């Protein structure tokens, strides 16, 4: 185990509870069991998810045991944190499929070969009625209603299921099952993490230390990064997409993204904050450095520089990128001699669904050889597409090679 200053672990953190808790745990001189739970409610991870994953990696690199719990059991219930309504329950099949994808993407940040990866169905699935009753006795209804979102829904007469009240206890029992010393989570998880301390006490364990990390705003600069709000950077997105999206963030987020999403470090963060404040650092120059650093993390050294060059080619010199992929459309896209453009976009990999394609066209984000198309129902002959460059938004291009 490597001796690492406590400041490494607390850099960028919001709260450490109790105040001296982490210092006392580190003073034990042994490898700590550091827990992070992720519920597979959606199949993809965003840059926002990496903030807490990177914090877990810091503990892992210092020789502590990173315990990654995939909530395949709790994920079927759905975390009620921040919800104003009851979340639809996932099926076991949906939770399992999402869990597999989560692990693949978490491996871009964590060394999964050195991590302890567990699924909480291991212990929650066999808890039984006696075990559930004992667990439920660890907290009171009054304690649960101290939670702001629960209290608001109860006072407003909105549905609040007993299952949702049990959720923090189930998550807390994860800490008992793996004997957590430290639990990490975003600030939206504070109530659940603190409940883990209560549950551990009820089962005779030393309570874990809680360390929370910030939630990062998405590309709009206002709301939490989220796929549902379309203000996200996905971990597995192509480097050009990542770079272009990162160049669109408000200048006020540059330093925060660098601190929480790159390896540039807290000392560099102080320098950048001062430089942006006094004008000695130009925001555009620093934003480019931040974007290059993040792209390199997920696509390898040099990927950021190459993405930057293509970004400049398209946006500064208004040229087409040199490596436009060629796509051959299957013959079944042709119906009665014409091709519905929205379906062609999906088939060419330029949109994830017909609905997204129609929306992009209606918003004026689609061009064929530079000519804007705005009718989402437009149908074209194959000759009007073959050999043409189709562009969606600012970063997605494909040349239609033919129809076979």
Percentage with pLDDT > 70 across the chain: 95
How many Å apart are CA 364 and CA 366, to the nearest integer?
Answer: 6
Cβ-count burial 9-34 (b if 16+ within 10 Å, e if not): bbbbbeebbeeebbeebbeeeeebbb
* Contact in structure between 176 and 182 (CB atoms under 8 Å): no
Q: H or E segment at 37?
A: strand 33-38
How many Å apart are CA 150 and CA 202, to the nearest integer?
Answer: 23
CB under 8 A, 24+ apart: contacts of 355-363: 357/392, 360/392, 360/393
How many Å apart are CA 212 and CA 10, to the nearest integer?
Answer: 9
Q: Is the model's pLDDT at 230 over the cut of 60? A: yes
pTM of the model: 0.76
CA 71 to chain centre: 15
- Structural domains in the chain plus CATH codes: 6-213 (3.40.50.620), 239-315 (1.10.240.10), 326-403 (3.10.290.10)
Q: Is the model's pLDDT at 354 over the cut of 60? A: yes
Instruction: Give me the phi and psi of 397, to 5 degrees please.
Output: -135, 150
Q: Is the model's pLDDT at 289 over the cut of 60? A: yes
pLDDT at 45: 87
Q: Is the model's pLDDT at 56 over the cut of 80? A: yes
pLDDT digits (tens, 9 = 90+) for 102-128: 888 999 999 999 999 999 999 999 999
pLDDT at 84: 45
> What is the pLDDT of the chain when averaged over all its residues?
90
């Amino acid at each position: 185990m490597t001796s690492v200053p406590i400041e490494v672990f607390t850099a960028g953190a919001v709260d450490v509870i109790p105040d001296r808790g982490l210092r006392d745990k580190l003073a034990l001189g042994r490898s700590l069991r550091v827990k992070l739970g992720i519920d597979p409610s959606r199949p993809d991870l965003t840059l926002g998810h990496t903030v807490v994953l990177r914090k877990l990696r810091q503990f892992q690199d210092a020789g502590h045991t990173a315990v990654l719990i995939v909530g395949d059991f709790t994920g079927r219930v759905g975390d009620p944190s921040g919800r104003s309504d009851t979340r639809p329950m996932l099926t076991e099949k949906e939770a399992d499929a999402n869990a597999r994808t989560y692990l693949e993407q978490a491996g871009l940040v964590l060394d999964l070969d050195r991590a302890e990866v567990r699924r909480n169905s291991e212990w929650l699935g066999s808890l039984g009625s006696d075990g559930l009753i004992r667990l439920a006795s660890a907290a009171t209804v009054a304690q649960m209603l101290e939670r702001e979102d629960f209290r608001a829904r109860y006072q407003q007469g909105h549905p609040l299921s007993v299952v949702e009240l049990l959720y923090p206890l189930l998550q807390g029992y994860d800490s008992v099952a793996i004997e957590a010393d430290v639990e990490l989570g975003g600030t939206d998880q504070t109530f659940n993490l603190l409940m883990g301390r209560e549950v551990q006490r009820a089962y005779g364990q030393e309570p874990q230390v809680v360390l929370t990390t910030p939630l990062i705003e998405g590309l709009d600069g206002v709301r939490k990064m989220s796929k549902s709000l379309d203000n996200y950077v996905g971990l597995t997105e192509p480097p050009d997409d990542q770079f272009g999206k990162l160049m669109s963030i408000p200048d006020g987020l540059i330093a925060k993204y660098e601190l929480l999403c790159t390896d540039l470090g807290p000392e560099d963060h102080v320098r950048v904050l001062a430089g942006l404040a006094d004008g000695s650092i130009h925001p555009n120059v620093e934003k480019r450095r931040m974007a290059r650093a993040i792209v390199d993390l997920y696509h390898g050294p040099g990927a950021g520089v190459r993405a930057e060059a293509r970004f400049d080619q398209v946006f500064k010199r208004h040229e087409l990128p040199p490596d436009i992929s060629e796509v051959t459309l299957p013959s079944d896209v042709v119906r009665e001699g014409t091709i519905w453009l929205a379906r062609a976009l999906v088939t060419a990999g330029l949109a994830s669904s017909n609905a997204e394609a129609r929306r992009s066209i209606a918003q004026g984000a689609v061009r064929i050889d530079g000519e804007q198309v705005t009718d989402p129902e437009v149908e074209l002959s194959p000759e009007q597409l073959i050999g043409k460059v189709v562009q969606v938004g600012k970063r997605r291009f494909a040349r239609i090679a033919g129809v076979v």
